[in-house]
Structure 1
Amino acid sequence: MIDKFSFRSTCSTCSHATFLRCSRASVAGSFLWFIYNLTRIPENTPINYQHTVLIYNPRAGRFGRDGSPLVERAVEILRKQGHNVSVAPTTGPGAAGAMVREHIRQGADLVVAAGGDGTVNEVLEGMVHTQVPLAVLPGGTANVLAMEMSLGKDVERVAGRLDRFCPHRISVGHVACNGGRVSRHFLLMAGIGLDARVVYHVSGALKSRTGKLAYWVAGWNLLGRRLASFKVEIGGQTHSCSFALLSRVRNYGGDFEIARSVSLFDDDFEVVLFEGRSSLGYVRYLLGMALNRLSGMKGVTVLRGDRMTVSGPQDSRVYVQVDGELVGHLPAEIRIVPNALTLLVPPEYERRLVVRA
């Protein structure tokens, strides 16, 4: 029995049916994979983008440590493919969204975000509900999106393959927190409680020197501290937890898979709730993540949903992060925004999802 099945057809690069999804039906998934191979257009068929803008953060990741030669090489590769490329370094925190909106207003038909998940998140704010595709060149600290799509870390290689990537219309997440005073879209995940507290305590200086190690140091420093418990209302039920992850991707932080059945092509979140107010108790959860045995562990609840309300205690501030960036604190409303963004994905990511179905 097929619970969910849908097609979205916009891509001439990958196939006539660029979105093939079948949940909980392996036989149907195999059939779709057979049909997919019959109807595919060769991967070297180019998509002709006329006005490409490359946005990068000159103060972060691989593009921030004298990364201008890397940017120049990526631009050269794109221009050899026929792209008319404009380069736009961000001018400060939160500036990328407005920059992207202006470039789109002036006629940009492809936006390339060069950097990590934080840079991509800023760029996303300027692209929601537009038809312009977003492409990613990995260059940040964690690169969760790049890992999710198996892009690798070679910026030049990814730049050389962009014309063979497939445009997919996808949903994104949206969070309104700080009592509605903060509004933010996200592409990958929202974290509430423990992991957002880790993000809050991360040293920017240490992060620039050591990358992901800075997050492990911040997490280690929280061991032994008592965690705040908060309420998550989803699907008419209320759950108590000290860490909630609302994910659109399987990969978490580049090191683990927590939400193991979700994909960027889904129209909801996989929600993973962790109980327990002792931070030491998370050592057990960490082991479960490492062994891919998190689902079914005592204290862990896995749900699906497209909208939820999260409320915190009166005597403690509970933080919220999206795509690895701190955005505020509870209370919060989090929801799916359907049909919100066109994302360029490699053909093998689509094939992997069809096979997995």
Structure 2
Amino acid sequence: MVKHDEFEVWYTAEEFPDTFHQTGRMVFTADALAHALFVTGRAPQDQAAYGWTSVYEWLHRVALIPAYVRRAPTGRLARSDLARSLDRSEKVALSYALGQAMTGVFSRQVVSVRFLMHVDRYAARYGIRFAPRTGRRADLFGERESGGWVVAEAKGRSGNIDDELKDTMRAQKRTVRSVGGARPALAFGCAAHFPQYKGVPDHLKLHAVDPVEEEPEAVDLPADPDRFILAYYEPFLAALDAGKEEPVLDGYALASFGPFNVSVGVLAPLVRRVRQGSLDNLYQDVIGILDTHLPASGPNRFSDGTMIMSKWQRALDQDDWSTEPTETYPDWWTGPDR
């Protein structure tokens, strides 16, 4: 059983290397979901030109969690009744955000990606232009803790997924041929969806595919490790500037956003190094700081040296996620088969 503050989401990994389990279970907190929403945002990060755009975007996205996400008695992630009553365009926006976030959670927990970023955010930060013919492009890219670049395509659906969506993910995720001159170690697509079962509340599941085929129009992403790291941490530093400064906590510089009941933290030595502004050896310096200062564990502390702390327990545990509060659960409700 999961803890009272944790979600449980089952995934299916199709066509992945043999080192990955075909079916698995992810357990994570609302803070981990909020962190994933942060790193997968696509707002421009040039603070001089755009100010705190990324912070406002993240606060808008993160507010979706207490508004629309609920924890079922089994720990499964369900949508609130309000979420299920949204109109079509609103449901699409919610599904899109959850698809991005769950791809982030899958990338961190299953694929061991320490740094993950939206391709468009990196491209916008450094003025990278892709050829007009590349209309389809994967959403996210990042680096595994063991080394090697990863490319991911994220999808979200409010209902079941079909073969057409799987084929779309197969095509889009292989539209990045190389990152920084190296072929991606993994390039996969993830679809977060809420299967519909008559008489039973829907809960979130994840379907991932990782075929080896490459699109004929695949592009090369000219990523540089030092510039990648700078772009990765810029929105976190912007959040520290935008929020209310709090006392340093366990070595983390901290800022709170009162009405949203959420705080953002970054390891203080990491903040100092990134704010120096020098790109020389920035990547290696950051890795060294993480190796030296990263705590051994913590429910709201992440391997990139950041921290997210939320106070959404009351909202997440509200019994407003099912219009049939007295219904009984079939045996398969607690297993991975559905």
* TM-score > 0.5, shorter chain as reference: no
Structure with greater helix percent: 2
TM score, norm. by length of structure 1: 0.24
Structure with greater strand percent: 1
